[in-house]
Amino acid sequence: PPLQRLEKAAAVTSHFLRWRRAPGKGVMAEVILQRVARMGMAVAGGTAAAQYCLFSVDVGHQAVMFDKFRGGVVHEQYKEGTHPRIPFFQEPHIIDIRAQPREIKTITGTKDLQQVSIYLRVLSRPMPEKLSNIYQDLGLNFGDRLLPSLCNEPLKAIVAKYSAEELLSKRAEISAQLKNEINRRAGEFNMLLDDVSITHLVYGKEFTSAVEAKQVAQQTAERQEWVVKKAEQEKKAAIIRAQGEAEAAEIVTSALKECGSGVIEVRRIDMAKEIAGTLARSRNITYLPSSAGGGSNLLLGLNAGQS
């Protein structure tokens, strides 16, 4: 029960107080406390020493050491892992050596004097063995300082060799030339380029309007060409039709010469059958035969729209 627990805790506390008040026991307690305090201070000092005397380099990074004793940047490689340093005299700088993407925009002219805005995507990284030289010459933000000046001049020089239409049709070829030229110049500054590609091409309003007008004119010309071909085919069809009718007339003339009016009577009977069939299918025509076989038969036209 809770009451018994309180009584037991009170008994333990009173026993500890009596033991401390006993002769010689207080001195022993103080010695134990001093030892514990010294151990705590040693642990705290070791932790602080490890924090100030060691540094860690993550994966994909490399450190450059600035040593005040040696008077500048130390040309040594500090790769992934934990490394020692002298506090207050050595200062490590951690640099990412993985490939970093950057987008560069520039406005330049083509071979046919058209203004175009080009967006260039560059995947670059520093040479790990030359990292101390890069830091010493360009600092930590070496990519922002170096890439715009490296890319603009080769980009303008290569684009000036092509027309505005060739920038679209020969895009892969232009990207390969840019990669070779920029990579050559970047090697002078201890940089490597893994990829260079053109991501966007934005032409001026005048060129865009001219392209649209050209497309409309081309579609109109193609339509006119189709109309001309259609007229030629209709002309050929009319000629063939006329030739067929002429041959049919010759055949009828020769038949009349050979058989007399019998051909005309056959044609008349066929026409009468056709007319009779058409009238029989009409809803407004009624056939009234003559009564008792005398007189003539009647075809009565009924107009449904009149009363």
Lowest mean pLDDT among 60-74, 122-136, 148-162, 269-283: 269-283
pTM to 2 decimal places: 0.51
Residues belonging to the chain: 307
The answer to whether the CB of 284 falls within 8 A of the CB of 304 is: yes
For residue 142, give the nearest of 162, 156, 125 by alpha carbon. Answer: 125
For residue 150, give the nearest of 127, 171, 122, 130 by alpha carbon. Answer: 122
The answer to whether the CB of 255 falls within 8 A of the CB of 248 is: no
Nearest-angstrom CA–CA distance, 271 and 248: 17
For residue 88, give the nearest of 109, 67, 73, 74 by alpha carbon. Answer: 67
Is 139 strand, coil or helix? coil
Nearest-angstrom CA–CA distance, 63 and 61: 7
Say what percent of the chain tops pLDDT 90: 1
Q: What is the mean pLDDT of the chain?
A: 77
Which pLDDT score, from 0 to 100, does residue 214 have?
72
Name the more confident of 280 and 159: 159
Nearest-angstrom CA–CA distance, 215 and 198: 25
- Bridge-based pairing of strands 72-78 and 298-301 is unpaired
Tell me the pLDDT tens digit for each residue of 234-290: 888 888 888 887 887 777 777 667 766 666 777 778 787 787 777 667 666 565 555
The answer to whether the CB of 97 falls within 8 A of the CB of 61 is: yes
Lowest mean pLDDT among 99-103, 124-128, 253-257: 253-257
State the average pLDDT over residues 109-131.
87
CA 189 to each of CA 48, 78, 185, 192: distance values in angstroms, whole numbers, following the listed order = 39, 21, 7, 9
CA dihedral 205, 206, 210, 213 (to 10 degrees): 60
Which pLDDT score, from 0 to 100, does residue 307 have?
42
Tell me the pLDDT tens digit for each residue of 192-215: 888 888 888 887 777 767 666 776
Q: How many CB atoms lie within 10 A of CB 113?
A: 9
Residue 203, CA atoms < 13 Å, CB-side half-sphere: 18
Backbone angles phi, psi at 21, to 5 degrees: -80, -15
State the average pLDDT over residues 125-140.
87
Tell me the pLDDT tens digit for each residue of 169-196: 888 888 889 889 988 888 888 888 888 8
Which parts of the chain fold into alpha helices (H)?
Answer: 2-21, 25-53, 131-138, 142-159, 166-169, 171-187, 205-259, 262-281
Residue 291, CA atoms < 13 Å, CB-side half-sphere: 0
